[in-house]
Amino acid sequence: MSLTLGGGPLASDAPSTVNYTIHSPSRALYMHPFPRRVRAEIGGHTVLDSDRGALLHESELLPVLYVPMEDIGQRFLAPSEHTTHCPFKGDASYWDLVVGDRRVENAVWAYPTPTPEASWLRGMASMRWRAAEAWFDEEEQVHGHLRDPFHRVDARRSSMLVRVSHGERVVALTGAAMVLSETGLPNRYYVPFTDVHRDMLVPSRTRTHCPYKGRAAYWNLRVDDREIADAGWSLPEPLKDGRDVRDHICFRHDELTTTLERD
């Protein structure tokens, strides 16, 4: 996504349509301040609280939050014997997080003596996202990861005639789709529920969460005497970047074909 994935300038598949050359190792690093306060909680206790964080962008990886070591609750930290080595950042030391009777192993890491090229990591530490029960960007709870400031989501009305089919059978047909463009991903066409054969849709138990668009609810598709699992998804309670596709569904499955025709 953005800088480090999907053809971004720091990705391994960086674009050729540029008038510059980036000379970097196979893993390029770029760190910049994160502009807002971030908190993490376990068992109702705040284990990380910082308005001095920074996002580390690394080729082929999602951005990772680093904060000053003192912004992680020292009373919750227990040294771990685990270590790792990164040729670009150095040797990492780890700590467990101990909150009450819960222990999260190797939840926090830092580079006490980073490589000269990453000397700005000295004194900074990071925490595994899944180590915490809840993360907050200011007062908004976020899921999956912090929003990348270089990542965009845009939804626009489309004049395309969008047809979704299973074989010869039309599942959805609309001239009122929304096309959603998201950094590093192909366009997705969202169809109004009113233009879908609703008798073919069966709610799925699958749920996913996008930090930009919100929680996605999935739908199975009933075809003949069987169901195609998780054939599409909708955003019943979208975040800001997903509000324009509320009451729409996006289909994506190997057994389905989506065709586009200009009006």
Which domains, ranges and CATH numbers included, belong to the chain? Answer: 29-142 (2.170.150.40), 153-261 (2.170.150.40)
- The amino acid occupying position 44 is G
Confidence band for 3, pLDDT divided at 50, 70 and 90: confident
Give 83-101 pLDDT, tens digit per residue: 999 999 999 999 999 999 9
The DSSP code sequence of 23-67 is: ---SS-EEEEE--S-EEEEETTEEEEEESS-EEEEETTS--EEEE
- The amino acid occupying position 242 is G
Confidence band for 220, pLDDT divided at 50, 70 and 90: very high
Q: Which residues contact 241 (CB under 8 A, 6 or more apart)?
A: 153, 155, 212, 213
Query: Closest by alpha carbon to 155, among 132, 136, 182?
Result: 182
Q: What CA–CA distance (Å, rounded) separates 92 from 109?
A: 6
User: Average pLDDT, stretch 237-250?
Assistant: 96
Q: What CA–CA distance (Å, rounded) separates 41 from 69?
A: 16
Confidence band for 224, pLDDT divided at 50, 70 and 90: confident
- The amino acid occupying position 169 is R
Can you read off the two tokens belonging to residue 222? Answer: 């009933």
Confidence band for 67, pLDDT divided at 50, 70 and 90: very high
User: Average pLDDT, stretch 44-52?
Assistant: 97
Q: What CA–CA distance (Å, rounded) separates 19 from 23?
A: 13
Higher per-residue confidence, 123 vs 27? 123
Q: What CA–CA distance (Å, rounded) separates 30 from 27?
A: 10
SS3 content of the chain, % helix, strand, coil (to 5): 10, 50, 40
> For residue 235, how many other CB atoms are within 10 A of its CB?
24
Q: What CA–CA distance (Å, rounded) separates 263 from 260?
A: 10
Query: How confident is the model at residue 186, as a pLDDT?
Result: 93
Confidence band for 142, pLDDT divided at 50, 70 and 90: very high
Higher per-residue confidence, 25 vs 135? 135
Query: Closest by alpha carbon to 181, among 137, 239, 244, 126?
Result: 244
Query: Closest by alpha carbon to 46, among 147, 148, 134?
Result: 134
Give the mean pLDDT of the chain: 94
User: Average pLDDT, stretch 30-45?
Assistant: 96
Q: Identify the three-state secondary structure at position 239.
A: coil
